[in-house]
Amino acid sequence: MTLKRLLMGGCLIASACATHVEPATGLSDEAAEAIYLQRFDALRDRTGASGLPAYDNLKPMAGAAEFEPFARASAETVFSPDTLEAATAYAAENNSSSLIVWKDGAIVSETYFGDVDADTLLVSKSLAKPLSVVAVGRALQEGYITSLDQPMADFIHEWQGTPKETIRIRDVLGMHSGLLPQAAAFEADNVLNRAYLHPYHERVIIEDYPMVAEPGEVYAYSNANGDLIAPLIERATGMGYADWLTQAVFEPLGAKGGEIWFNRDGGVPHSGCCAMLPADTYLRLAVLLVQNGEWEGEALLSPEFIADIKAPGPGFPNAGMGVYLGTPYSPFLNPSGPNPETYLSGTPQSEPFLRDDVFFFDGNSNQVAYMVPSENLVILRTGAWPPEEPGWDNAVLPNLFLGDLQD
């Protein structure tokens, strides 16, 4: 990989004719490698943990010019005190930082734990992936991308004339691009580590990351798919990814911003992970989907795009685009694929959800947002990994509230 080569991209439609050219950052190959190895050592020092202990190049990501708080409603008019007490206790004993319940246009319960409050910036982990899906949906809505079936190579020009030129935007969002699945990796020269930690991680993914299956045939979770969204958006819109999130997502949602991890100064932010945002902002993404893409009377996402988000991909009926589907019931949802023996240990679910239209975000450490359109309901839980015993159960929180509603 030649780091001195500048990436150039462009858009192929009239409304997006800006050209993305990466500014020179002054990093030599040797300096880039030294930063990578420093990050790799920091990651490996956290035996048994996930992610870096801290991101070394966080940059501000502005929110809406005017934050618009959600309406509030009395929880007791919707749920019983016993339900609220049980849900809060379950969240507390599972190392949660926040538990927020939104129903029929208003927050009915909002609890923060420990030192966290409504303004605390929380590590997104893979909650960043549905954020990136919404970012693509907004680019579709604004005409910068023509279709989910558009080839990624229309923007990632380096893939033209290679086997990767058949990968569609839909394939990347749905984790069926054919790119190498996520797996445990302990060597510094492993592409999985370089694709996450290198200060030119976008080049590693675009130029070096292997394709191991035909696009559209196999579901295989990987962070590389999520991190491809930032260069896609930057080349399609001519805007930096963080700026696009501010303008196209946070501003129309009246949402707070935060910070995001850039791979280097003047570089590209991670879109598959590594955003720092308040709990309320993650909640708004879920509410937007429950409302079928509408926000205060404006169609921010098309109904067709929402349907695409919730459509199962090949080989794994519980995975959509940035979301997991509660139907059909799966007692052991594995975000890396249908085989529980693959990379991630998965999230047990002791019983089916009490509504068949439940779908949800599910990020690392069981950071979840359960969405139930039939009840106009969202339940958000953020936090650290729950304890091993008794362990997290995806059925508990949604079925507590749904059971109360049907009584």
Q: Given this model, what pLDDT does residue 347 score? A: 77
| pLDDT category of residue 19 using cuts at 50, 70 and 90 | very low
Q: In the predicted model, is pLDDT for residue 37 greater than 70?
A: yes
Q: Which residue has the higher pLDDT, 201 or 7?
A: 201
* E strands, 35-176, in order: 58-61, 71-72, 96-103, 106-112, 122-123
pTM of the predicted structure, to 2 decimals: 0.91
Three-state DSSP class for residue 174: coil
- Contact yes or no for 204/191 (Cβ under 8 A): yes
- Contact yes or no for 355/374 (Cβ under 8 A): yes
| pLDDT category of residue 6 using cuts at 50, 70 and 90 | very low
* Highest averaged pLDDT of the listed ranges 26-35, 37-46, 171-180: 171-180
Q: What is the pLDDT of residues 251-263, one digit of tens each?
A: 999 999 999 999 9
What does the domain layout of the chain look like in residue ranges? 29-45+57-406
Q: What is the DSSP secondary-structure string of 278-293?
A: -HHHHHHHHHHHHTTT
Q: Given this model, what pLDDT does residue 331 score? A: 84
- Work out the average pLDDT over 111-131: 97
- Work out the average pLDDT over 242-248: 98
Q: Given this model, what pLDDT does residue 23 score? A: 43
| pLDDT category of residue 7 using cuts at 50, 70 and 90 | very low
Q: Which class is domain 29-45+57-406?
A: alpha beta
Q: Given this model, what pLDDT does residue 315 score? A: 83
pLDDT, the chain, mean: 90
How many Å from the N-terminal Cα to the C-terminal Cα in the chain? Answer: 61
Q: Given this model, what pLDDT does residue 50 score? A: 62
Q: What is the pLDDT of residues 296-349, one digit of tens each?
A: 999 999 999 999 999 999 988 999 999 999 999 988 765 555 454 443 446 789
Q: Given this model, what pLDDT does residue 342 score? A: 45
